[in-house]
Copies of this chain bind each other. A is one copy, B any other.
Amino acid sequence: MTPLKGNLIFGQSGGPTSVINASAAGVFLEALDHPDIIPGVFGMHHGIEGVLKDDLFDISGEDRRELDFLCGTPSSILGTCRYKLANPDADDGDYEKILAILRKYDIRYFFYNGGNDSMDTCSKVSRYLQSNHYDCRVIGIPKTVDNDLFGTDHCPGYGSSARYIATSIAEVWQDTHSYTTPMAVVFECMGRHAGWLAGASALAGVIGCGPDLLYLPEVPFDPDRMVRDARKILGQKNVVLISVSEGIMTADGRLVAEQLSSRRADAFGHKQLGGTAALLADLLASELGVKVRGIEFSLLQRSAAHCASGIDIEEAFLAGRTGVKAAISGASGVMMGYARPDQGPYRCDIIHVPLDVVANREKNFPLEWINKEGNGVTRDFIDYAFPLIQGEPHQVHEQGLPRFARLKKIPAGQGIQKEKTLSPSK
């Protein structure tokens, strides 16, 4: 088939990761290699909101060298959003605006990088454009540190957060095991509904520096049970390291974090938010009388590009680059997913997953990967996650600090590529 000629637009959505910009680099650099098919490349300023506001960047005018630096730059360089499009059957106002902008800039390649909601946005846009007979290839690029995206073996961003968590816990293991005084440390990892990130704590166990206890949101959390487990460990050694997911809930279905939030007020009389690790550390201090530390990885775990997984960066880049190649070849309405062989050494293959299959579904943490005591993970999980944290980060340092990409962020329509990229609206 003759390739569809027209411009490409790319947007980032949802919570940032250490490697979402690597996918951006993959899309941009590949697209810029096909000026005959894709004369202009645009970026959405704050995702779909940028399209609705006609607030776009002209990527064609950026230096290639700076685009390369994206692979070591965390977060969403174009800006992100959490905007949820209405159902087009109920209200197609947003879609009319989107189509008008696509026509205005002659966009024929629509790329959206995000999680469940973003794939839903992508899916809705794809169906609307089809039903309005506007020829445009719509491609979803996965992203989420939570690793809960359906239809893919794993998600770009997860491996890097997993590597950061495992490395940090191993280093704190070294720190806490240098004392003779008994101590309990509670680590808090992201993951409201799925234990993928908290589970990654167990990877530190590969070098003998993992947590002793691990509590995932898939298993009802019992504070007394944790205290008993911790007391048992402290009967054998000086230190107990515990890692939990922010989403752990007691049997009554209430988040431990919410119980904290609803029952604690700070020194100035204001309501306290979050802090599951701090809460559980306090509990252990009073129940076991040991020194405690609560360590919440917070935003660090999704932005620590200095400790990213090389494999994760390469796969995130590949998802973007392969997406452009696939779209040029005619693919549309699909997400670039990851697959690995059932047997043999780890390998990551890019697969096409229909957007409506991905949208608004979650990939749960397999219950059979949680030990029967409900306080750890099995070897199967380690075998799954370990390949994903391999390889060194691609971050370049200048004078001891990260060298982040510096984009000109040229407003679309004002850039040096203006004449080239703006063809008359249809």
**A contact set with B: CB distance below 8 Å:** 12, 16, 46, 49, 73-77, 79-81, 163, 166-168, 170-172, 174-180, 185, 203-204, 206-207, 209, 223, 256, 259-260, 262-268, 270-275, 278-279, 281-283, 285-287, 292-296, 298-300, 302-307, 309, 386, 389-392, 397-404
**B-side contacts of A81, CB under 8 Å:** 179-180
Chain A binding surface, main DSSP class: mixed
The answer for the CA separation of A401 and B309 in the assembled complex, in Å, is 10
State the Cβ distance, A221 to closest chain B Cβ, in Å.
Answer: 12
Minimum-distance CB pairs A-B, first 7: A75-B174, A270-B286, A259-B267, A175-B303, A76-B178, A389-B400, A171-B303
B296 with A270: CB separation less than 8 A: no
State the Cβ distance, A83 to closest chain B Cβ, in Å.
Answer: 10
Copies in the complex: 2
CB closest residue in chain B, given A17: B175
CB closest residue in chain B, given A179: B80
With A171-B303, A172-B303, A207-B404: A273-B268 Cβ-Cβ less than 8 Å: no
Contact of A401 among B170, B278, B287, B296 (CB under 8 A): B170
A267 with B278: CB separation less than 8 A: no
B278 with A282: CB separation less than 8 A: no
Among A79, A275, A287, A293, which residue has the most Cβ atoms of chain B within 10 A?
A: A275
**B-side contacts of A402, CB under 8 Å:** 167, 170-171, 207
B223 with A300: CB separation less than 8 A: no
The answer for the CA separation of A300 and B175 in the assembled complex, in Å, is 9
The answer for the CA separation of A296 and B71 in the assembled complex, in Å, is 27
Contact of A295 among B176, B294, B299, B302 (CB under 8 A): B299
The answer for the CA separation of A12 and B174 in the assembled complex, in Å, is 14
The answer for the CA separation of A304 and B390 in the assembled complex, in Å, is 18
A174 with B270: CB separation less than 8 A: no
Task: Please list 27 pairs of residues, one from A and one from B, whose beta carbons are closer than 8 Å in the complex, sorted by A's number.
Answer: A16-B178, A74-B174, A79-B178, A79-B179, A171-B306, A172-B300, A176-B299, A207-B398, A207-B402, A207-B404, A260-B267, A264-B272, A266-B283, A267-B279, A268-B279, A268-B283, A270-B285, A271-B282, A271-B286, A272-B279, A275-B275, A275-B278, A295-B298, A307-B307, A309-B400, A390-B399, A390-B400
State the Cβ distance, A84 to closest chain B Cβ, in Å.
Answer: 14
**B-side contacts of A296, CB under 8 Å:** 295-296
A74 with B171: CB separation less than 8 A: yes
The answer for the CA separation of A49 and B178 in the assembled complex, in Å, is 13
The answer for the CA separation of A274 and B263 in the assembled complex, in Å, is 17
The answer for the CA separation of A17 and B180 in the assembled complex, in Å, is 17
**B-side contacts of A259, CB under 8 Å:** 267
The answer for the CA separation of A65 and B7 in the assembled complex, in Å, is 56
State the Cβ distance, A158 to closest chain B Cβ, in Å.
Answer: 13
B299 with A399: CB separation less than 8 A: no
A49 with B180: CB separation less than 8 A: yes
State the Cβ distance, A80 to closest chain B Cβ, in Å.
Answer: 5
State the Cβ distance, A321 to closest chain B Cβ, in Å.
Answer: 22
CB closest residue in chain B, given A79: B178
The answer for the CA separation of A303 and B209 in the assembled complex, in Å, is 13
**B-side contacts of A273, CB under 8 Å:** 278, 281-282, 285, 292
B178 with A401: CB separation less than 8 A: no
With A75-B174, A267-B279, A268-B283: A307-B306 Cβ-Cβ less than 8 Å: yes
State the Cβ distance, A237 to closest chain B Cβ, in Å.
Answer: 13
Among A167, A177, A274, A281, which residue has the most Cβ atoms of chain B within 10 A?
A: A167
**B-side contacts of A293, CB under 8 Å:** 298-299
The answer for the CA separation of A251 and B390 in the assembled complex, in Å, is 50
The answer for the CA separation of A403 and B304 in the assembled complex, in Å, is 20
> With contacts A266-B278, A268-B279 known, what are 10 further pairs, Cβ within 8 A?
A76-B178, A168-B300, A207-B401, A256-B267, A271-B285, A273-B278, A273-B282, A293-B298, A295-B299, A391-B400
